Amino acid sequence: MSYPLTLRFKVIALARQFSVEDNTGRLLMYVKQKAFKLREAITVYADEAQTRPLYRINADRIIDWSARYSISNEAGAEIGAIQQQGMRSIWRTRYDIYRGDRVVFEVKEENPWAKVGDHFLAEIPIVGFFAGYLFHPKYLISTTEGAAVLRATKQPAFFEGRFQIERLETPLSAEDERLLLIGAVTAVLLEKNRG
């Protein structure tokens, strides 16, 4: 993959949509979520026409407080899971990324005040359009030993949400990179859905 990656959310749309592109503009992932679903079930596609499924993300419960989201590939084999750390995420968002039953990566919000400011300013009519230019929440993804691997940073944008995912210096296997990318995208999507 050619970093940095750009994750874009359509703000004005009936159904939530997002895409991930590499730094050459090549589409890596596309999602169009179904509206009004009680239990989260997301299919990630390789194309906007939604003809080539890559991953399926399924919640283990309807209420998503500490829900575990299993991530499976196009053949249905589970490649990992992501789960919010419940009470520890009240102030600073934290997620664990699993392979099997073992936590292999952690997602941590770097500055909780940025998310608070971004959320409250976005709720003010007219002024909310400028929230994306003032506050930029960041999420750091690291190994359980503390080595930083990826960083997702909200970027300035009108009429869309945009995050940049940059790769840090820690070496990764192709399998780890794939799990990390879909885990990072899932964490950003869940945070976006929560406001």
Diameter of the chain by CA atoms? Answer: 46
Sequence spans of domains, the chain:
5-194
> For 139-173, b where at least 16 C-beta lie within 10 A, e where not — what string?
bbbbbeeeeebbbbbbbeeeeebbbbbebeeeebe
pLDDT-above-90 percentage for the chain: 36
* Whole-prediction pTM: 0.82
For position 155, what pLDDT does the model report? 85
Superfamily of domain 5-194: LURP1-related (2.40.160.200)
For position 25, what pLDDT does the model report? 94
The model's confidence at residue 82, banded by pLDDT at 50, 70 and 90, is very high
